[in-house]
């Protein structure tokens, strides 16, 4: 039996790839998607998710729109990495699919009550999850597993110490970390192991059908950005690595039980995930790249 999956996303290029993986993997049954501001504004994120679902034949999956901004601080967007709409140069056909009338916390709480034990995969800032914990504390015991793409154990991608999703709303991360939700953290370093060039990506996702071709088209913006910035065209599939961990733990090469604490100071450390005393968090150290590529091939080329 597939596990019910709920995806919380700031869809984004790599979020879109991760969503496609969950839709097409036999271990998951996606019962809903919640959206929030992150890589791009909430309106763009919601449009991207609705159009993506319609384009791939999943228009019946409900979408719930959530946070328009972080809990306390001002929004930090990532339009340089994801393009002005969030999907790079890809212009999906307008689907006309609209989000549900219920907002993301209400939708998430209702879906979890209906599917206790569901896996929640958080691919953006944790604002929606934090608000839902506040409004509906019962979700803490209903979530089977919360898999989070976020944090950096050694070196961030926004500041020296902070990774984007955690930097974008550190107070929300703190709230989630102080709840009793069973979390798996997939930090930036584990994701960086998925670094690929155009040829490697083409081999992993193929173009036998429209979803493999779509992944390549989506990543093209990032290839060009990296080429301009670093003189080399490459991409790292952050959210897809987190989704792979949620779908098939055999992609994990090594992990440890530990505890992270959010740095909430208004210093250069803000948004850093600091290793702390204690355990109870499943923290991914290293990805098994071969297993990850096999999973992509299984999803995109079979
Ligand atoms: C994370 O930040 C976003 O830009 C990506 O979508 C991913 O979730 C990587 O730091
Ligand atoms: Ca994301």
What are the sequence ranges of the domains in the chain?
3-301
Rounded to an integer, what distance in angstroms lies between the CA atom of residue 301 and that of residue 211?
Answer: 9
The mean pLDDT of 139-168, rounded to a whole number, is: 97
- DSSP code of 121? E
Q: What is the pLDDT of residue 11?
A: 98
Rounded to an integer, what distance in angstroms lies between the CA atom of residue 65 and that of residue 103?
Answer: 5
Residue 208 has pLDDT above 90, yes or no: no
Helix axes 13-24, 210-230, angle to 10 degrees: 150
Rounded to an integer, what distance in angstroms lies between the CA atom of residue 78 and that of residue 174?
Answer: 22
User: pLDDT tens across 265-280, in order?
Assistant: 999 999 999 999 999 9
- Given ligand 1 and candidates 17, 165, 225, which is best to mutate, with the most ligand atoms within 8 Å of its CB? 165
Share of the chain above pLDDT 70, in %: 100
Rounded to an integer, what distance in angstroms lies between the CA atom of residue 169 and that of residue 128?
Answer: 10
Distance 27 CA to ligand 1 centre (A): 24
Neighbours of ion ligand 2 (CB under 5 A): 10, 12, 15, 123-124, 239
Q: What is the pLDDT of residue 207?
A: 83
What is the b/e burial string over 175-205, where b = at least 16 CB atoms within 10 angstroms of the residue's CB?
bbbebebebbbbbbbbbbbbebeeeebbebb
Is the CB of residue 233 less than 8 Å from the CB of residue 226? yes
The verdict on the CB of residue 235 being under 6 Å from ligand 1 is no
The mean pLDDT of 34-63, rounded to a whole number, is: 98
- CATH superfamily, domain at 3-301: Ribonucleoside hydrolase-like (3.90.245.10)
The verdict on the CB of residue 81 being under 6 Å from ligand 1 is yes
Reported confidence tier of residue 196, pLDDT bands at 50, 70, 90: very high
Residue 302 has pLDDT above 90, yes or no: no
The verdict on the CB of residue 188 being under 6 Å from ligand 1 is yes
- Integer-rounded Cα Rg, in Å, for the chain is 17
What is the b/e burial string over 64-99, where b = at least 16 CB atoms within 10 angstroms of the residue's CB?
bbbbebbbeeebbbbeebbbebbbbebebeeeebeb
- DSSP code of 215? H
Residue 40 CB neighbours (<10 A)? 23
Residue 209 has pLDDT above 90, yes or no: no
Higher pLDDT, residue 207 or 6: 6
């Amino acid at each position: 039996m597939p596990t019910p999956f709920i995806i919380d996303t700031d869809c984004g290029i790599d979020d879109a790839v991760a969503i496609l993986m969950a839709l097409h993997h036999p271990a998951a049954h996606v019962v809903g998607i919640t959206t929030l501001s992150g890589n791009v504004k909430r309106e763009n994120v919601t449009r991207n998710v609705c159009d993506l679902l319609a384009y791939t034949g999943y228009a019946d999956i409900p979408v719930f729109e959530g946070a328009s901004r972080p809990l306390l601080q001002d929004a930090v967007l990532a339009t340089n990495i994801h393009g002005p709409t969030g999907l790079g140069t890809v212009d999906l056909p307008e689907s006309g699919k609209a989000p549900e009338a219920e907002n993301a916390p209400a939708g998430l709480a209702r879906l979890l009550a209906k599917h206790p034990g569901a896996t929640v995969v958080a691919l953006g800032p944790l604002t929606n999850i934090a608000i839902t914990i506040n409004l509906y504390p019962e979700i803490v015991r209903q979530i089977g597993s919360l898999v989070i793409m976020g944090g950096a154990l050694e070196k961030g991608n926004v500041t020296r110490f902070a990774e984007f999703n955690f930097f974008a709303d550190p107070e929300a991360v703190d709230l989630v970390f102080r709840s009793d939700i069973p979390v798996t953290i997939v930090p930036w370093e584990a994701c960086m192991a998925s670094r690929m060039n155009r040829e490697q990506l083409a081999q992993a996702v193929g173009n036998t059908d429209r979803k493999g071709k779509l992944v390549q088209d989506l990543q093209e913006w990032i290839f060009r950005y990296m080429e301009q910035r670093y003189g080399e065209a490459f991409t790292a599939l952050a959210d897809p690595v987190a989704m792979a961990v949620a779908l098939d733990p055999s992609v994990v090469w090594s992990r440890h039980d530990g505890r992270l604490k959010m740095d909430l100071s208004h210093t250069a450390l803000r948004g850093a995930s600091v290793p702390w005393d204690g355990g109870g968090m499943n923290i991914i150290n290293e990805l098994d790249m071969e297993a990850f590529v096999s999973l992509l091939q299984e999803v995109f080329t079979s």
